[in-house]
Structure 1
Amino acid sequence: MTKLLTLVSRLILGIIFLGAGINGFFVIFGIDPFIETSDAAMEIFQFDYLLVFEKSLEVICGILLLSNRFVPLALAILAPIIANILLLHIFMDPSLLLLAIVLVICHSTLLVIYRKNFLALLEKKPIIKIPDIPSS
């Protein structure tokens, strides 16, 4: 059951972020996107270079999730992006709020499943291991 839940959540997040990232490049380059983005959402992105960076991260993380490689890294990178998406759709543009909630649910599910990969981040006093450098 956990394997199926992991697969479904990972695929949903991967497909959404890969599609949204590619779609974002069409908006940046002035081509009509596949999915229309609201004017309220686009007013936030006054600096195109920030949008290029974010959409690049979305494409990379979408590919990582779909290929099942470096999933915890992709989840860590996507966490602030998903938080911003949720807040944007709560406060400015509720048209895609359902999609934002689906993203949060899938991301949270994967965070719980991959929680052992993140536990070291929550250590109060992490152990620092300095490797011995052999003298020649």
Structure 2
Amino acid sequence: MDTALSPASTPVEASQQKKKSLTRFLPTIARVLMGLVFFVFGLNGFLDFIPPPPNLDPADPAVAFGIAMKATGYLFWLVKGTEVVVGALLLTNRFVPLALALIAPVLVNIFMVHALLAPAGLGLAVVLMTLELFLAWSYRAVYRPMLGMRVAPGA
């Protein structure tokens, strides 16, 4: 048998093939992780199965922001409903580019709240933002037509 023609005949080629096979799962892993986070935390907004931290101070700007969102009568429920729908879409691998576009403004707000008002949760916000950017890059071909500078209707 000729070793020059066999697949992965050198250690370098074998490691490149292994690396390639692992990287193809990264978008799926990112999609499922992001879907789980948004589905669980979105449902928690409706069902309260994760207990809130004790002794929340209403004078804390982050807590006041959450109270204000609930006080509008719709905004909190709209955001949590969007999180549940997007989480379900990501978990079921349906309409993923649309789900990423829908969750982007919510995610920017989550990031800004934690960056400016509640730095303790910034780690998860950074992870979610990284997952969002990675998935958007993974689906960049889908977004390319949408980002055209001049597009005629019906084109």
TM range (shorter): 0.7 to 0.9
Aligned to 2:62: 41
**Relative contact order, higher structure (CA 8 A, sep 6+):** 1
The percent of aligned pairs where both chains have the same amino acid is 35
TM-score (norm: length of structure 1)? 0.84
Gaps of 5+ in 2: 1-21
TM-score (norm: length of structure 2)? 0.74
3-state SS, counterpart of residue 24 of structure 2: helix
Aligned counterparts of 1:95 and 1:72: Cα–Cα separation in 2: 30
Aligned to 1:118: 143
Aligned to 1:5: 26
Flag the 1:80–1:35 CA change in 2: closer, same or farther, 3 A.
farther
Root-mean-square deviation (Å) = 1.8
Which amino acid letter does the alignment assign opposite residue 96 of structure 2?
V
The counterpart of 1:80, out of the listed 105, 125, 140, is: 105
112-121 vs 65-74, which deviates more? 112-121
Aligned counterparts of 1:100 and 1:88: Cα–Cα separation in 2: 9
User: How far off its partner does 1:113 sit?
Assistant: 0.2
Aligned residues: 125
The counterpart of 2:154, out of the listed 113, 122, 129, is: 129
Aligned to 2:42: 21
User: How far off its partner does 1:41 sit?
Assistant: 2.9
Gaps of 5+ in 1: 27-31, 131-136
Aligned counterparts of 2:39 and 2:84: Cα–Cα separation in 1: 5
User: How far off its partner does 1:47 sit?
Assistant: 1.5
Aligned counterparts of 1:85 and 1:103: Cα–Cα separation in 2: 9
